[in-house]
Structures are given as structure tokens and as C-alpha cells.
A and B are shown apart, each in its own frame.
Chain A
């Protein structure tokens, strides 16, 4: 008992140290770098400037941001549309089926997502399986270009990120008290009213968590755009990677990263608000 108490105290003491070392300090470093100037030879020179932030408002970069948001948003909506009915069914089927279906959701995690993206690439390639199928069915006469398009990127994002939408939604549906649905029907609510007034609000924490877990990675998964997208499908993740690894413009990359982080915190705020709104009282369990 004493030992575990001591360890708990030590753990509590270590937590701030941990956060300081691995979260706050790197964040401050990024902030510092974002305010400095790029140097051809040594990455940065200690010359304070807001130029990096100003450059973010360049129409080219603004477009990358808005395009990325739109693409991530679209992928999120698609995931939500696919996952919501699936998660509902998952919570309603018998335990045996539930185990099978949940396993099927999780199985893709056993393979590296980069490999899975390459698999999609081969499916969509000019001489890939999809084109062969469409040709065989006589739906097209010559191979169509499926790869290197916004659609291919969207498909890749949805494919990789769908489980992150399903799992929190499933957990929300599982917690949903069936008696509340009966109570709503008892109080004259039809199917649609029950959905709108009871099911959606009570699964709001799952919706918010799922959207968060899909939207944020969708912004950052640079390899999906690299592998499936064309040169016009530049997204934030790829932009950041390029700044650090290709262009070697650390200050600008840092400024762009910070903007993404600020966006992340805003979304977390939305998530907590949704949880409080649903009245689950479980604001503290993330």
C-alpha cells in the first residue's frame, strides 16, 4: 500500500516534468523557430521576424490550407456517413456477430497503413484491378485515370481513417440507454424525432471524438497525398513535410505547424463542449 502510494506521488510529481520536457519545451522551440529567419547554411539565424506568419497569408498557402480543410472535412463527413449506421448496427447485433465485425474493423491496423495505401494505388492504377473490372464489365472502353486525383486522396483518407470514426461512435452507441428511446416513443416522438432529439444528441460525444480523430490526421497524412494525389493535391501535412525535409525552411514550417496546433486546440474545445452538451458528465475522460 505504502509503496504504491509512494509511486503514485512520484508519478504525480513526474507528470509535470514529463509534460514540460516533451510537450511544452518542443512547442516553445517551434514557436521560437517560427519567429526567426531562415538561413541557407545553418537552417536558422537569430533574426526575429513575423515574416513567416505573413507568408502563410500568401494566396498559394491559403489555398493549400483551405483545400486541405475541405479535403479533410469531406473525408470526415464521408467517414461519419459510413460509420454512423455501421456503429449503430454494431451496437444492436448479437455478441457473436459484434465480435466478428469489430475484429474486421481492427484487422487493417495489423498492416502498416503506408503499405495499405500502396495497395490502393495498385488498385486504382491505369492497369490496376479497378480499371480491369470496369473494362471487363464493359462500363468503360479504355482505362480511366483514377489515380492522382482528389478523389483518390479522399478514398485513401476514408479508407485509412474509417476505424477511428467507427470505434468512438460504437462506444457512444453502446452507452446509449435503450429505455431513453422507448421513453421518447412513449412521449409521441416518431422515428425521425427520436433520431434528432435523442440519438444524435446522446451520441454527440462519439461524433465529436470520431470527427476529431479523423479530421486531424486527415490534415496531416502526407503520404496519402504523396502516393495517391497529383501535384495539385498539396495538403498541409505534405506542405509541412516539404518545408522541413525538402525546402529546409524551418521557420516557415514551424509557423505553419503552430497554426495547425492552434486549430487542433480549437477542435478539442468543440469536443469538450459537445460532451458537456450531451450531459454525460464525462468531461474528464478523454
Chain B
């Protein structure tokens, strides 16, 4: 098996005594679209800057195709970056911006011309070649920045929050475009974002980071459906997190878990033993509600009072205040018949079978 294209091993970096990356281990494979996802300050941009060569690590090794690249300055790394602010050269035309890397590599001018026009075709902006960046819209600048990086055919393309400066509609369109483009050119993309939806929709794998440590890495579906801990669950997608304690293990891989003063048998990782504190993740779209009378116990379910109903177009969101005071968010597809539930009504809340994930309560949040 060939070595991974990019490998971080025990890479650490600190600024002013603050340890941003305590020791990062990460492998990125050829042709993969990997996203580093996390809140600001989680070290994701630092990891990218270390790989680009703008910063040098305090410890550990960064390898590209098996070779350590720690001492190489950015200009000697076959890696290009699409910056958050695009960082297009304002004094150069679009054409000059895109050809900059090729000119620095002293390629023959005929080849430069050809590759620049190919790159402009690829981002579908050939008519803008002679404009200056100041005359372009945000979306156009974004695509020119992409072309300026891709034209060099880097081994790895780094995208640092590259879509976050765009408005909503344009960002959606660019997400699709970027994914299609990545498949088309077959390059390895490492994308950094704090937007979980962006991460899930574009990536082959997502690494969720917190305080410089990868919490979980895997395909978007795994991250969403089986989050490794409460932090990941909370960060990726809307979630209801309920604290609980394991009271008894059952034989079928499930365990009795005490939540909100009731016992629920839920499938729980085998590493969790009785007495351990856990967090139970309930996605809003997995919750089901039924009106119950004031004295009805609502067997095997949680009970509470509807606080608010919000029409969200595709879905109808409901806030339920449980008897303990905890507020749950439920989300149903809107089909016009659900008008029966109104604020103030008492409901029992259940869930689709096997939907709750039981997570160790290690990460404080």
C-alpha cells in the first residue's frame, strides 16, 4: 500500500504559550476530499497553514508522499491554497493572477497561455481575463482564486474557509461546483470550514476538531449518524442531548439507561458499564409526538408540554418543555395535517426505533 499523500504525525504548534495543536495525527489519501471541521480556534486553519508552509511546526513531522517537508518554504511545496479572502493580487489582471505561479516556475509562455485559458474555461469565466480583481464580484473572485491555484496542478489543494465570504445562494452553488470540479480534476482537496452542512455535503471524509484534537474522522454519514462524542453530535447537525446514567446492561447489546427519571432500554456501546454517565443524542427529525391527557404517564416515552411551533417551510419545528424543564426540539416534515398540536398541549415524545445514540459523557459541554 502506498504511503498516504499527506501525513501529519504528532505535529504540534503553539502561539504565545497557547498550544493550538498539541499533537496532530492525520492521514490524507490521494484524490480525497477531506474537510477539517470545527469551531473557530480549534486549530483547523493552523493545520492548513502548517501544510502550506506559512508556519513551521514546533514538533512532529509533516510528510508529503512519504517525504518530510517540514523545512521546505511554501514556494517549494507542490501545494496551493485558496485563501479565505481570495488574496488576489489587486494590481494584476485576472490573467496575470492566474499565470503567476506558472511564471514563477518559468514555464514556456506558450504553455502558460494555454493552461491559463484552460483554467479560465474550467471556472467558466474566460471573458474576464483582462479585468482586475477589483472589478469582479465575490463569486467571480472566488472562482479566479480557485483557477489561480488549480492551474499549477498541485499535489494538494488547500481551501481555507474559501466559501464563507459568499452569500447563501452563491455558497450553495459553489459547494456543488467545487465538488464536481474536484471529481473532474481528480485532485486531493483539504477544505477547512466551520460550517457543518458544507462539510457534510462536500466531503469524502470529515475530521471534526476541537482544541487542536481530532474528535472523530470518517465519512459524513458516520459523523452524523454515529458521532463519537457529545461535542461531535452537538457540532454536526441539530441535536437534543440528554444526560443519563446506565443502570443495567442487557444481553442484546442494549442497556437500561435512566433519562429524565425514567428507564429506557437503548442500544449502547459495550464499553459502557452500569453506573457510567452517558449522553443520549436524539435528532429532532427522529422524534415523534402524541397528545396525552394530563394524568397519562406516556409509557416508554418522555412527557412534556409544547412550548412553540415554528413553520420552517419544509419542516415544522416544535419546542417541547419536558417535565424536568429540559427543552427538546422536534422537527417534522410539513404535510398540512399536523395542525392538531398547539402550544400548551401535553404530549408524549417517542422516537423511531434505534435512532438514539448513546455516547460517553466524557466531553464537558
Which residues of A pack against B, CB within 8 Å?
Answer: 177, 179-180, 182-190, 193, 197-198, 201-202, 204, 277-281
Contacts and interface: CB of A to CB of B under 8 A. Distances in A.
B75 A189 contact: yes
13 contacts: A182-B83, A183-B89, A185-B54, A185-B73, A186-B54, A186-B74, A186-B80, A187-B104, A188-B75, A190-B75, A204-B91, A279-B92, A280-B90
A186 B52 contact: yes
Contact of A202 (B54, B90, B101, B152): B90
Contacts of A180: 87, 89-90
A183 B105 CA distance: 15
Interface majority SS (helix, strand, loop, mixed), chain A: helix
Contacts, number: 72
Interface residues of B, number: 28
B75 A182 contact: no
Contact of A183 (B79, B81, B91): B81
B105 A278 contact: no
Given A179-B83, A183-B81, A187-B152, A278 B101 contact: no
A179 B84 CA distance: 10
Contacts of B91: 201-202, 204, 277-279
Top 8 nearest A-B pairs (CB, nearest first) are A187-B101, A183-B87, A188-B104, A185-B74, A279-B91, A179-B87, A279-B90, A201-B91
Contacts of A278: 90-91
Contacts of B53: 185-186
Most buried by B among A177, A187, A189, A198: A187
Interface of B: 52-54, 73-76, 79-81, 83, 85, 87-92, 100-101, 104-105, 132-134, 148-149, 152
Contacts of B75: 185-190
Contacts of A190: 75, 104
Given A185-B73, A186-B53, 17 more contacts: A177-B85, A182-B81, A183-B81, A183-B88, A184-B100, A185-B54, A186-B52, A186-B54, A186-B74, A186-B79, A188-B101, A188-B105, A190-B75, A277-B91, A279-B90, A279-B133, A279-B134
B115 to A, nearest CB: 13
Given A179-B83, A190-B75, A198 B104 contact: no
B87 A281 contact: no
B104 A189 contact: yes
A202 B104 CA distance: 18
Given A198-B89, A278-B90, A187 B148 contact: yes
B52 to A, nearest CB: 6
A219 to B, nearest CB: 30
